[in-house]
Structure formats: structure tokens, C-alpha cells
């Protein structure tokens, strides 16, 4: 059975007419498409417009010989993969070695034995086929690996998006619910202040004009501790005003953080985003029965407004700060007495801005640091970390904003994350 598909193309290069004729007839009869060239130059010229699947190449030719021709074929990316079989005299073992060194896959000896030529050609065409197949399989494998990576990234994004969107919704919902009653209290505090001031003045007027009131009034004033009340009431009201202002700020920050309504790209004040995020994490900075308070040091510089997806950027601040707090809590267990986070911002050249978030926790080992941006990589106990925070943050900074997110850490000393983004997109 002839398993070579018909119409494989072969170029025969030989300066002897008889040889060319013999090979042409032999190969054509076998169904090959045969082209011929009479010397090395002619072969190279032909190969500029025609690529056979195999080349039979004579060694001894006038002009450039077979070795040089072969070398040039192997140097040219278009022809380097075409298998070359040398034709050389039987006794010429030196040339056989030289030919193989020049890049030939095989040799046949002259005078030509028909069966041998056909067998060798068949084998090398099959080998070439296999190589092409192998190449295709490799290509396909790379493609599939890439698809798999993309799929993984998409899944990661989805999980984090769901997580963040439900957190965002919750935060926005709570903020909305609190907003109305707080405004109600805040708005009415002014009236209470006025009314109570009026009542106090009225009492003072009474006291001025009736310094000796009835005994019942005197007793009641004593019971009420009227003097203290007169002094304290306005203080209470001003601290209530401060309190309600604070709640309003918190509500504003919560809305600022979730920014569900603002998915688009627009200029924002980054410090506002950082502050809102800090506020949301506030409870984790405070002293607890087991942990000393974490100090947050701000080293803010004047920053331009930054064009970005602000809720996404807040998500990055949240992930990095939450990681820093986790790391600091761990370091407190191993003796860190002054857990600190330093947040610095600065404007760089060419409209870039930089945000650095550093902690003096235990740092990251070299082995771990190469993996922290990988999805699902976590060193935290099962159930407490998903390992998505940094991978998603990296994506947000690099893919969504064309920026850079880098991590510098020294084991035992701390970790610093550096975010760089352009303040305005071209």
C-alpha cells in the first residue's frame, strides 16, 4: 500500500542531465510532482517562489556546491524546514558527514538504487508530516492553555464582582436607610437649639423679675437642678450637632465607597476614596481586648483629580488595607507593639500619581511574594481568605486603568504596595 498521499512536491537539484532525467521519471511515475534545478543558484532562485516538500540535492555542482546551497536553505526561515536529502558517491563518507552537518536529514548514494531512493523519500515525507502535526498540536495546546487562563480570569472576576457588588449594595442600602432619619435629626437640631435657647432666656427673665418665686417653683427648680441644666443643655445640643454631622459624613462616605450609581470613568479626588475606605475599616483599627490600636499615618500630597472608575479603585484600597490589617494583627501576636500603616500619595512626572500603602507587619517571604497576585493564592486559614483580593486589584489597576501595582516586602519588617496610575487618559 502506498501511504504517501499523491502529489507531494519534490525539487531535484543536479548538474548532470542523466541523473535529473532518471529521478524525474522515477518520481513522476510514483505520482510525485517533480521540479528540477541544474545547480545551486538555480535552486535557490526557484525556491523564492516555490516551496517543495522535500529536496534531493547533489553535492558536487559547479558554482555553489551542495553544502553551501544546503546551508543557505537552512538559514532562510522560509526554507529551513524543508527536508534535504544529499546525493553523493558511495565511497564518499567524508561528504556524507559534511552533508548531515550542513543540515541534511539523509543521503542517498550514487549510482541511484530506485527502491532506496523511494523508501528514503517516503520516510522523510512522513517524518515531516509528523513534525507539522506536532507543531499543530503544540499550537493548539498553547491556544487552549490561553483560553483556559482567560476562562479562569473571567471566573475570578465574576466571583469578586459578585462579592463586591453585594457588599456595595449592602453598603449603599444601609447608607440610604440611615440617610433619611439622620437628616431628620440633623435638620431638627437647629430648631431644638433655638427653642431651648428661647426657653432658657424666658426662665432667666422670670428669675430676673421674680427673684423670689412660690415655694413649689423653688422646690421644682432644685429638683431639676435648674442651674446645671441651664449650663448643660446648650453643651449637649452642640455635641449632638457634632455627632449628627459625623453620622452624615459616614453616610456620605458609605455612598462614596459603594458608588453604585457611578460606574463610569470620571475624575475624582483619590484622597476621598482612601478616606471612605479607611472609614469603613475603622472598626478594625481600634484597640480591642487583644490588640493595640493600629495607627494610620497619612502623608498626603497635593494630587490632581484622577480619571478613574472610582468604585473599582476603592475596591483596590479596600483589598490592600484589609491585607495590611490582617498582616498587622498577625504581627501583634508575635510582639509588634506599634502596628502602623503609612499611606503616602504623590504626583509623579507626566501626569502619573502614586499611592503607597505600607505596613510594618511580618512581611512576605520570597517564595510567597511571587504568588501573591495569583488568583486563589492565600496563606490565610480556610474560610477567611479567598485569595482573590490582590489578583483582582492587579487586574483593576493594570487592565482597567493601564497602571502598575507592585509589592515590596522585607521579611520581618513589613510590606509596601505601590499603585501608579495616570491622572488623565490620553
Ligand X SMILES: Nc1ncnc2c1ncn2[C@@H]1O[C@H](COP(=O)(O)OP(=O)(O)OP(=O)(O)O)[C@@H](O)[C@H]1O
Residues that bind ligand X (CB under 6 A): 319, 323-324, 327, 359, 361, 364, 368, 372, 377-380, 385-391, 415
Cα separation, 303 vs 18, whole angstroms: 85
Q: Is 27 or 390 the residue whose CB approaches Mg ion more closely?
A: 390
CB of 394 to Mg ion, least distance (A): 12
Q: Is 323 or 395 the residue whose CB approaches Mg ion more closely?
A: 323
CB of 282 to Mg ion, least distance (A): 18
Q: Is 301 or 368 the residue whose CB approaches ligand X more closely?
A: 368
CB of 234 to ligand X, least distance (A): 47
Specify whether the CB–CB gap between 55 and 73 falls below 8 A: yes
Specify whether the CB–CB gap between 398 and 316 falls below 8 A: no
CB-closest chain residue to ligand X: 389
CB of 300 to ligand X, least distance (A): 20
The one among 389, 391, 414, 417 contacting Mg ion by CB under 5 A:
389
Specify whether the CB–CB gap between 356 and 344 falls below 8 A: yes
Q: Which of residues 278-337 bind Mg ion (CB under 5 A)?
A: 323
Lay out the sheet containing 404-410: strands in order across. Answer: 295-299, 340-347, 352-359, 414-422, 404-410
CB of 396 to ligand X, least distance (A): 12
DSSP 8-state class, residue 398: I
Which among 254, 261, 378 is positioned nearest to 318, based on CA atoms? 254
Q: Is 107 or 417 the residue whose CB approaches ligand X more closely?
A: 417
CB of 5 to ligand X, least distance (A): 54
The site partner of 340 among ligand X, Mg ion, none (C-beta below 5 to 8 Å per kind) is none
Q: Is 152 or 380 the residue whose CB approaches ligand X more closely?
A: 380
User: Are β-strands 295-299 and 340-347 bridged in parallel, bridged antiparallel, or unpaired?
Assistant: parallel
The 3-state DSSP class for residue 402 equals coil
The site partner of 324 among ligand X, Mg ion, none (C-beta below 5 to 8 Å per kind) is ligand X
Q: Is 32 or 373 the residue whose CB approaches Mg ion more closely?
A: 373
What phi, psi does 289 have (nearest 5°)? -60, -30
β strands within 90-219, DSSP E? 106-110
How many other C-beta atoms lie within 10 A of the C-beta of residue 306? 23
Give contact residues for Mg ion (rule: CB under 5 A): 323, 389
Amino acid at each position: 500500500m502506498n501511504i504517501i498521499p499523491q502529489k507531494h512536491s519534490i525539487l531535484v537539484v543536479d548538474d548532470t542531465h542523466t541523473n535529473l532525467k532518471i529521478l524525474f521519471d522515477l518520481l513522476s511515475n510514483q505520482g510525485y510532482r517533480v521540479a528540477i534545478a541544474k545547480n545551486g543558484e538555480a535552486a535557490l532562485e526557484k525556491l523564492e517562489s516555490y516551496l517543495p516538500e522535500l529536496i534531493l540535492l547533489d553535492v558536487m555542482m559547479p558554482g555553489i556546491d551542495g553544502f553551501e546551497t544546503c546551508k543557505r536553505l537552512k538559514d532562510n526561515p522560509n526554507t529551513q524546514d524543508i527536508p534535504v536529502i544529499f546525493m553523493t558517491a558511495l565511497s564518499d563518507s567524508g561528504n556524507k558527514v559534511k552533508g548531515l552537518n550542513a543540515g541534511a536529514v539523509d543521503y542517498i548514494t550514487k549510482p541511484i538504487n530506485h527502491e532506496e531512493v523511494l523508501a528514503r523519500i517516503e520516510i522523510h515525507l512522513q517524518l515531516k508530516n509528523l513534525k507539522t502535526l506536532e507543531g499543530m498540536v503544540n499550537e493548539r495546546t498553547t491556544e487552549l492553555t490561553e483560553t483556559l487562563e482567560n476562562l479562569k480570569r473571567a471566573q475570578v472576576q465574576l466571583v469578586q464582582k459578585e462579592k463586591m457588588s453585594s457588599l456595595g449594595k449592602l453598603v449603599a442600602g444601609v447608607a440610604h436607610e440611615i440617610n433619611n432619619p439622620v437628616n431628620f435629626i440633623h435638620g431638627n437640631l437647629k430648631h431644638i437649639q433655638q427653642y431651648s435657647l428661647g426657653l432658657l432666656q424666658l426662665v432667666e427673665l422670670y428669675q430676673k423679675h421674680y427673684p423670689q418665686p412660690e415655694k413649689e417653683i423653688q422646690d421644682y427648680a432644685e429638683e431639676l437642678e435648674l442651674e446645671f441644666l441651664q449650663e448643660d443643655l446648650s453643651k449637649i445640643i452642640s455635641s449632638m450637632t457634632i455627632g449628627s454631622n459625623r453620622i452624615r459624613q459616614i453616610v456620605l462616605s458609605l455612598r462614596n465607597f459603594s458608588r453604585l450609581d457611578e460606574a463610569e470613568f470620571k475624575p475624582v479626588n483619590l484622597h476621598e476614596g482612601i478616606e471612605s475606605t479607611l472609614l469603613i475599616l475603622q472598626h478594625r483599627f481600634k484597640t480591642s481586648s487583644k490588640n493595640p490600636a493600629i495607627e494610620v499615618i497619612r502623608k498626603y500630597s497635593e494630587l490632581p483629580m484622577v480619571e478613574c472608575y472610582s468604585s473599582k479603585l476603592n475596591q483596590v484600597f479596600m483589598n490592600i488595607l484589609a491585607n495590611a490589617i490582617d498582616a498587622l494583627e498577625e504581627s501583634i501576636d508575635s510582639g509588634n507593639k506599634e502596628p502602623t500603616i503609612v499611606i503616602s500619595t504623590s504626583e509623579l512626572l507626566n501626569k502619573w500619581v502614586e499611592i503607597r500603602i505600607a505596613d510594618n507587619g511580618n512581611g512576605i517571604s520570597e517564595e510567597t511574594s511571587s504568588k501573591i497576585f495569583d488568583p486563589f493564592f492565600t496563606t490565610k486559614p480556610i474560610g477567611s481568605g479567598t485569595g482573590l483580593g490582590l489578583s483582582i486589584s492587579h487586574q483593576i489597576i493594570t487592565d482597567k486603568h493601564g497602571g502598575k501595582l507592585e509589592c515590596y516586602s522585607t521579611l520581618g519588617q513589613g510590606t509596601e504596595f505601590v499603585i501608579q496610575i495616570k491622572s488623565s487618559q490620553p
